[in-house]
Amino acid sequence: MDPFFAFALALHVAAGLAGCGGAYAAWFALSGSTPAWRTLWWGTAFALVGFFMSYASGAVYYLSYYGKAVKPVILQGRFPWAHAFAMEAKEHLFLFLPFVTLLLAVAIWRYNKLLWDSRNIALREALAALAGVVAAIAFIVVLLGVLVSGAVR
Amino acid sequence: MDWHTFFVVIHVVGTVLGTGGATFAEVFLLKALRDGIIEPFEAEDLKVIYRVLRIGFVLVVISGFGLLVLARLEDHAQYLYSPRLWAKLMIVAILAVGIIVWRARWLPQRVSVVLGSALSFSAWYAALVLGLWRSLDLSFPLILGAYVVWFFVVLLVQHFVRRALGIAV
């Protein structure tokens, strides 16, 4: 593989993983009854930057390399469903993930001072659920990515 | 040092921190709960141990995915369909859920402590065994089934140990 595309793929995985970890950290921070500002702030920032970076590097890899060099290998190999199902599901799930994360980040940064106020438990729980859903979807996307990568042989 | 060795070293360090941390978390938690009250210095010790556990978790995840990317880039994609690898990925998800269960304020404290502790202890040891047992030749559902059995064994043993020590969680 061309070093540029190898770098794009590695960046796609690393940034996506950072995003998944960040969303998970935000979920962790919002699940407790004691404030965890630093974890929440850094987690949300990692999630947002990570998903957008993964989005961009994944797009470069997908549009310039995957379609020509990887997809035909998968479709002619033992696991054609890895493209037909896993890649299709992965890219559609991933399309909206950065934007849901943007929503989460805006809500957290907008309401940061109010989140651990006892009158706003419902708000914190709703944001915790959203962060949990983002982390879970990101983890599913990661697993689908492993399935796609494993089919290239 | 090549990338593979680097990631393997980090992976082993993360597993050691996680498994050791889970063991000490269990011991210190039992010690702290014996008199029914977690004193501030005991809470401080537990906080440090949980931090070590989380560091171990982060190291295991980062190095694990580093190894996966290397497998893809070095044309060893067949490893990515190994049942042992998929079982380890599921264990990572269980560990992540276990950490949330520990912290979750929406769960009753008793459930949070009992479940969080059993999930963390059983999953870290399962990860250790899966990592070391390279010749393990079982299907993915069988490995997961074995983990579920192991989880209930841990839950039961922890229950009896607490009862023997007179700890009411």
Instruction: Report the residue from A31, A79, A142 with minimal CB separation from B104.
Output: A31
Average pLDDT, chain B: 90
pLDDT at B94: 93
pLDDT bracket for residue B149 (50, 70, 90): very high
Per-residue pLDDT tens over the stretch A24-81: 999 999 988 788 888 999 999 999 999 999 999 999 999 898 888 888 888 888 888 9
pLDDT band at A150 (very low <50, low <70, confident <90, very high): confident
Lowest-pLDDT choice from B3-17, B20-34, B35-49, B125-139: B35-49
- Name the pLDDT band for A91 (thresholds 50, 70, 90): confident
Complex prediction ipTM: 0.84
| Chain B residues near residue A149 by CB distance under 8 angstroms | 68, 71-72, 77, 80
Partners of residue B93 in chain A, C-beta under 8 Å = 139
* SS3 per residue for A7-24: HHHHHHHHHHHHHHHHHH
Alpha-carbon span A2 to A65, nearest angstrom: 9
Indicate the domain borders of chain B.
3-164
A32 within 8 A of B105, measured Cβ to Cβ: yes
pLDDT at B40: 83
Taking contacts as CB-CB distances below 8 angstroms, the residues of chain A near B71 are 149
Residue of A9, A142, A149 with shortest CB distance to B77: A149
Q: Find, among B153, B96, B45, B124, the residue nearest to A21 by Cα.
A: B96
Q: To 5 degrees, how large is the angle CA B116–CA B143–CA B61?
A: 55
